[in-house]
């Protein structure tokens, strides 16, 4: 159930970690501990001049007053307990390595080597990394696609059900909801199907840390009854970059195992600034989430209509993704009718109109509209989009579906882990069709691997990567070291 009230005197009005740090900076302590800048005294003066002193004073470490993330008994314990309450979880864990770290922890903390997991192939690369590290065996399932827009939607309950029937031994079902584009699957149905068969349900909710706090937003993983979910508090609400949370509910997760993995995979020096931002983001959402989201959702819904009234532009509507749900915080604006690629439009918006988008793809640009935004921001974006459209010749629409994210995935030849550790040879990407990749190839954002370790490389994937590179996409993977080359199983 979504949050209803936000009484200021509820326990949620406390921010135990933030309050402890704020108290600590007033005390005359002499620091003989890390970090070596000693509460800012040793920091580069140019930086201190720009941002002031307190931010550095609060950059503390494990102390009796600040508690320890991996054995919390004081303010961190209290802060995480408040987060669990706000997020309707039994346990919440603060993460300092983003949802990337959370995905690794979910997979390694729940699965044993050789365990089967039903997992969408269009998942974020950190999930595949979790498969490599855990040694779990993926059973890939595939999303529905909106052919008109060439857009990956999400996985349907029917697809999950078919996979459950075919794989009675699978231990878990993994879903990414929402996707980078804000498209959410029917989590309630998927959870029901999986739980009928005693499967653990893990949800990558990196882009949905706000869902619980407004009734018009899609159902969150914890509301839907998922066993465990990760969310990037930094992506859509007010956590600092990298600050994320992991939530657990019900008896299906062994928290002792999970905590051990969190201890293994996270820094032993977690940032107190990041963790304080989690404490405050939780407080803000619990107390004011509903009203803040009410305002920003209203404005972004109106903005979407206004964008759709501009000739040559199209902003994705909820009807386009049915029966999936669309998060109104995501504005996916197609610019192909202007004769521009998303990358070109994004560059013009940045350089000419000072509008910085969240991401671009070959035919669209994506913007996020959050609780930080209001009518002024909406006006600025709309004016820039109008000016952009006015300066282009409509009619020169790029041939639709010229470039399409590969959807004909080959069967897995080796597990991601086997391929990752296999002996390899390095060959030109253009000659790699039919070979088994030992590594990832990803366009970032959105970070969904085009090539995954263990799969035979397809012509479609090689052509997609070639075409995306040509139009300015950032290819993350082997490109960084040896452009145009890839490691394949020897």
Q: Which parts of this chain interact with ligand PLP (CB under 6 A)?
A: 98-100, 103, 124, 126, 176, 180, 204, 206, 232, 244, 446-447
Cα separation, 163 vs 169, whole angstroms: 11
3 within 8 A of 290, measured Cβ to Cβ:
yes
Number of H helices and number of E strands within the chain?
A: 16, 20
Token reading at 94: 């603060």
Nearer of residues 12 and 176 to ligand PLP, judged by Cβ: 176
Give 377's contacts (C-beta < 8 A, 6+ positions apart).
369
Token reading at 238: 């007010």
State how far Cα 408 lies from the chain centre.
Answer: 24
In angstroms, the first-to-last Cα distance of the chain is: 53
Shortest distance in whole angstroms from residue 218 CB to ligand PLP: 14
488 within 8 A of 435, measured Cβ to Cβ:
yes
Q: If 0-12 CB within 10 Å is exposed, 13-18 middle and 19+ buried, where does residue 438 land?
A: buried
Token reading at 53: 């002193």
The alpha carbon torsion through 363, 220, 134, 443 (nearest 10 deg) reads 10
Shortest distance in whole angstroms from residue 92 CB to ligand PLP: 16
Nearer of residues 206 and 475 to ligand PLP, judged by Cβ: 206
Nearer of residues 100 and 219 to ligand PLP, judged by Cβ: 100
Nearer of residues 181 and 456 to ligand PLP, judged by Cβ: 181
Nearer of residues 446 and 478 to ligand PLP, judged by Cβ: 446
Cα separation, 146 vs 240, whole angstroms: 34
Nearer of residues 43 and 175 to ligand PLP, judged by Cβ: 175
Give 322's contacts (C-beta < 8 A, 6+ positions apart).
none
Token reading at 243: 């600050």
Nearer of residues 80 and 176 to ligand PLP, judged by Cβ: 176
Q: Phi/psi at 404 (nearest 5 deg)?
A: -130, 135
- DSSP assignment of 87-132 equals TT-SEEEEESSHHHHHHHHHHHHH--TT-EEEEETT--HHHHHHHH
DSSP state for residue 371 in the 8-state scheme: T
Residue number closest to ligand PLP, CB atom: 98
Helix (H) or strand (E) holding 254: none
Cα separation, 179 vs 332, whole angstroms: 12
Shortest distance in whole angstroms from residue 130 CB to ligand PLP: 10
Nearer of residues 244 and 266 to ligand PLP, judged by Cβ: 244
Task: Give me the residues paired with residue 436 across strands.
Answer: 456
Helix (H) or strand (E) holding 72: none
Nearer of residues 126 and 415 to ligand PLP, judged by Cβ: 126
Shortest distance in whole angstroms from residue 230 CB to ligand PLP: 7
Nearer of residues 43 and 127 to ligand PLP, judged by Cβ: 127
Shortest distance in whole angstroms from residue 180 CB to ligand PLP: 5
Shortest distance in whole angstroms from residue 377 CB to ligand PLP: 22
Nearer of residues 126 and 432 to ligand PLP, judged by Cβ: 126
Residue that has been written with the tokens 């509209």 in this structure? 369
Shortest distance in whole angstroms from residue 232 CB to ligand PLP: 4
Shortest distance in whole angstroms from residue 100 CB to ligand PLP: 3
Cα separation, 220 vs 209, whole angstroms: 8
Nearer of residues 80 and 244 to ligand PLP, judged by Cβ: 244
199 within 8 A of 188, measured Cβ to Cβ:
no
Cα separation, 272 vs 283, whole angstroms: 16
Shortest distance in whole angstroms from residue 183 CB to ligand PLP: 11
């Amino acid at each position: 159930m979504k949050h209803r009230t936000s009484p200021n005197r509820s326990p949620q009005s406390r921010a135990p970690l933030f309050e402890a740090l704020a108290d600590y900076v007033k005390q005359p302590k002499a620091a003989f501990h890390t970090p070596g800048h000693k509460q800012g005294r040793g920091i580069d003066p140019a930086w201190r001049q720009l941002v002031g002193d307190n931010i550095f004073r609060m950059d503390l470490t494990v102390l009796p007053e600040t508690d320890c993330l991996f054995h919390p008994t004081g303010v961190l314990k209290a802060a995480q307990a408040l987060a669990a309450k706000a997020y309707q979880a039994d346990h919440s864990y603060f993460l300092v390595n983003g949802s990337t770290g959370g995905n690794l922890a979910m997979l390694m903390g729940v699965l044993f080597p050789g365990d089967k997991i039903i997992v969408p192939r269009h998942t974020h690369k950190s999930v595949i990394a979790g498969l490599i590290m855990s040694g779990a065996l993926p059973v890939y399932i595939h999303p529905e696609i909106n052919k008109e827009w060439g857009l990956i939607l999400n996985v349907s309950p029917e697809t999950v059900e078919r996979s459950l029937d075919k794989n009675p031994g699978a231990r878990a079902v993994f879903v990414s909801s929402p996707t980078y584009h804000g498209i959410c699957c029917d989590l309630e149905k998927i959870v029901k199907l999986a739980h009928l068969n005693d499967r653990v349900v893990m949800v990558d909710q990196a882009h949905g840390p706000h869902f619980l706090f407004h009734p018009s937003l899609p159902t969150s993983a914890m509301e839907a009854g998922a066993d465990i979910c990760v969310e990037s508090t930094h992506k859509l609400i007010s956590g600092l970059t990298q600050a994320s949370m992991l939530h657990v509910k019900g008896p299906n997760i062994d928290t002792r195992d999970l905590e051990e993995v969190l201890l293994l995979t996270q820094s032993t020096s977690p940032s107190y600034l990041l963790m304080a931002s989690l404490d405050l983001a939780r407080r803000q959402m619990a107390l004011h989430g509903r009203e803040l989201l009410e305002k920003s959702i209203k404005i972004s819904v109106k903005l979407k209509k206004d964008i759709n009234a501009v000739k040559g532009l199209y902003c994705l509507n909820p009807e386009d993704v049915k029966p999936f749900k669309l998060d109104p915080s995501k504005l996916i604006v197609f610019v192909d009718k202007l004769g521009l690629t998303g990358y070109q439009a994004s560059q013009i918006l940045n350089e000419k109109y000072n509008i910085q988008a969240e991401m671009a793809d070959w035919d669209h640009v994506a913007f996020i509209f959050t609780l930080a935004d209001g009518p002024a921001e909406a006006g600025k974006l709309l004016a820039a989009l109008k000016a952009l459209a006015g300066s282009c010749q409509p009619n020169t629409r790029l041939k639709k579906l010229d470039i399409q994210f590969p959807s004909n995935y080959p069967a897995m030849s080796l597990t991601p882990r086997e391929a990752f550790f296999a002996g390899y040879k390095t060959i030109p990407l253009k000659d790699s069709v039919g070979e088994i990749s030992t590594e990832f190839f990803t366009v970032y954002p959105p970070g969904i691997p085009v090539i995954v370790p263990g799969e035979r490389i397809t012509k479609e994937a090689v052509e997609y990567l070639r075409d995306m590179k040509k139009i300015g996409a950032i290819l993350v993977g082997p490109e960084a070291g040896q452009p145009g080359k890839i490691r394949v199983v020897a």
